[in-house]
Chains A and B, each alone.
Chain A
Amino acid sequence: MIRRRAFDVAVEHHGGYLIQACSSADILATLYVELMQLGPGADNLVPPRFNGTPGTGVPEHWGGVYNGPDQPTYDRFILSPSHYATAVYAALIETGRLSSDALTDYNADGTTLEMIGAEHSPGIEVTGGSLGQALSVGVGRAMWRKRAGHTGKIWVLISDGETQEGQTWEALQAAAAFGLDNLRVLIDVNGWQVDGPMESVMPVGCLRDKAAAFGCDAVEVDGHDPAAICAAVLSADRGKPLVIACITDPTTGFPALKERDDAQTHFVRFRPGEAEEYRRSSPLLVGVGR
């Protein structure tokens, strides 16, 4: 359903971040349904209109409330690549944390459901659209929670492309130095970035091995297998940050994505009639009339 909602958004709004939803849908579903201990979501399932950025004197909204109250006993979820916001909005809808028609307001003037989310957007806790930075914020939160003895864990979803930014490695270095076993980092290893396959733009090598070399408990799993993701969490080492490299296929659900040009995959904009082809060939939409 996360993929279907992202597809509908891409069709209705003349473009969208579809492959990000296709690669991360099972990771997000596993996090929201199985793994994260989140408190009740926001009272208002209809997201508020944009009301100013932090510090402007108006009561600004914090998207984190859709992931539950910010209390030490509850987990927090930090999405690093805010380009995945559509998938998070869809996950919130599917878990009853956001109204089912919220996406009709997607990217409209004055909405908080922006294309690239900011921390006023539902489910977005850190403004992560400049990539490779939010993991450090997760490290900071986990450091204090560990020192203060708070039980809530910190979950961070990052993308493989972001590991090109050196700050990612500074963050993991610190996480290992502080023994942050309350920090769980999931990497969506979908192998794509704006210019095309990461192998052709800037290869990053084996992220499990690199994270392990930085002192993390690092495992590699099939990112479309919720049981495997859960098992990796259950068997995590004590005393180390956990890094799960989730190997994913960004065309999952919409095999027609394989036919696109490299440079038109990061942000999918359909040509006339193309969306119909996607519908016909998608196993997600068999028998679904529109």
Chain B
Amino acid sequence: MTVTEFVERPFAKALVDYAGRNERVVCVTNDLTKSVEADLFRETFPDRYFSLGMAEQNLAGVLSGLAREGLEPVYPSFSVFATRRPYEQILLNIAYPNLPVRLIGFLPGITTPGGVTHQANDDVALMRGMPNMTVLSLADATDVETLTGVLAEIDGPVFCRSPRGNVPRLFDDPLRFGHARRLSSGSDLTVISSGATTEHSIRACAAIGDAGISVSHLNVSTLKPFTDELVIETLANGAPVITAENHLRSGGLGTAVAELIADHGLGARLHRVGIRDTFTHGGRPEYLFAHYEIDDVAIVNAANELLGSSVQFESTVAGGPRRTTLAASVNEGL
């Protein structure tokens, strides 16, 4: 798949548009204003912008106070600083009182070269474990542009993973709360992806489809609550399932799908493509996706393993050819 359109900093404009429609929207940052595309908001609505510095525990309490004043505070940050660092302050001061605070987590998973301190590989797991919290994961520019339409529907707190900067457009239809997107239909294999792995999954599914295997591909953007009828119906056909996520294999999309399969007694075999139980290091995202095996090649390898097939696929995304069925050598070779 070739992405034909990229949108530059879609969040910056979406946030300003939202604040233009909703005067309760305020924005708070932790010394990352331009990095999280809140600079346009700062210019446009200086009276509704607050710089709190690098002090995220205090900042989380401040978000609670602003929300208790009747406002709808948006805190865009790097995902590690929107989840892990001020975790208890969010849990007790925002989630427990069920306040309409919007935590926007950029650089989710290993989409940053910043190493373990900047890589939020656990953010979905952390926030799924918080009652009242809605968890979203965006995959493309359309998702980012239409996020605020979904935010307006949700009374309580929201955590949303988002891409930033130059963002590819994959979808035409707007983001819908609680509804996955169906990207292809098929009966031999189901692929469920989220966030940055969706682009990889689209390429992988094309290769798998070309080999004569019929694939259902769903993109999930609402990770909690996870009650989507489309997902349940798709799982019910009993075909083997691959989940793909830019996150630890535990606690994120793969876990949510496993729970759904178990809860509904569906008995589909599941292969979770995600970061194994390890910390990660810094590097280009293309390299990291290959090194930690959450890229298009890893998804095709998973299909071959589940189906006993031998679909050949070569990725050049990592800067050098990386082929399927070489999984054992991948760790040494890169």
A contacts, CB < 8 Å to B: 50, 52-56, 82, 107, 109-111, 114-118, 120, 127-132, 161-162, 164-166, 193-195, 198, 200-202, 263
Does B55 contact A202, Cβ atoms closer than 8 Å? yes
Closest residue on chain A to residue B33 by CB atoms: A195
- Give, as a whole number of angstroms, the nearest-CB distance from B94 to chain A: 18
Does A116 contact B117, Cβ atoms closer than 8 Å? yes
Closest residue on chain A to residue B318 by CB atoms: A109
Q: Interface residue tally of chain B, by bracket?
A: 35 or more
Does B35 contact A194, Cβ atoms closer than 8 Å? yes
Alpha-carbon gap, A161 to B31, bound state (A): 10
Closest residue on chain B to residue A54 by CB atoms: B279
Does B283 contact A129, Cβ atoms closer than 8 Å? no
Interface of A is mostly: loop
Does B31 contact A194, Cβ atoms closer than 8 Å? yes
Task: Give the residues in chain B near A117, CB-CB below 8 Å.
Answer: 115
* Contacting residue for A166 out of B55, B278, B280, B283, CB 8 A: B55
Does B34 contact A110, Cβ atoms closer than 8 Å? no
The 8 A CB mask of B43-78 against A (1 = contact, 0 = none) is 000000001111111100000000000000000000
Does A202 contact B118, Cβ atoms closer than 8 Å? no
The 8 A CB mask of B17-42 against A (1 = contact, 0 = none) is 00000000000010111110001000
- If A107-B113, A195-B33 touch, whether A131 touches B54 (CB-CB below 8 Å) is yes
Known: A116-B113, A161-B53, A194-B31. 9 other contacts (CB 8 A): A107-B283, A111-B283, A114-B281, A114-B282, A118-B282, A132-B54, A201-B51, A201-B53, A202-B54
Closest residue on chain A to residue B319 by CB atoms: A109
Q: List 5 A-B contacts (CB under 8 A).
A: A53-B278, A117-B115, A164-B55, A193-B31, A202-B54
Closest residue on chain B to residue A117 by CB atoms: B115
Within 8 A of A (CB), among B156-178: none
Alpha-carbon gap, A161 to B53, bound state (A): 8
Does B51 contact A116, Cβ atoms closer than 8 Å? no
Does A129 contact B115, Cβ atoms closer than 8 Å? yes
Task: Give the residues in chain B near A82, CB-CB below 8 Å.
Answer: 115, 117
Closest residue on chain B to residue A161 by CB atoms: B54
Q: State whether the Cβ of B248 lies closer than 8 Å to any Cβ in chain A.
A: no
Task: Give the residues in chain A near B281, CB-CB below 8 Å.
Answer: 50, 53, 114, 118, 120
- If A50-B281, A53-B280, A195-B51 touch, whether A130 touches B80 (CB-CB below 8 Å) is yes
Closest residue on chain A to residue B78 by CB atoms: A130
The 8 A CB mask of B282-312 against A (1 = contact, 0 = none) is 1110010001000000000000000000000
Closest residue on chain A to residue B38 by CB atoms: A195
Q: State whether the Cβ of B85 lies closer than 8 Å to any Cβ in chain A.
A: yes
Within 8 A of A (CB), among B261-287: 278-284, 287
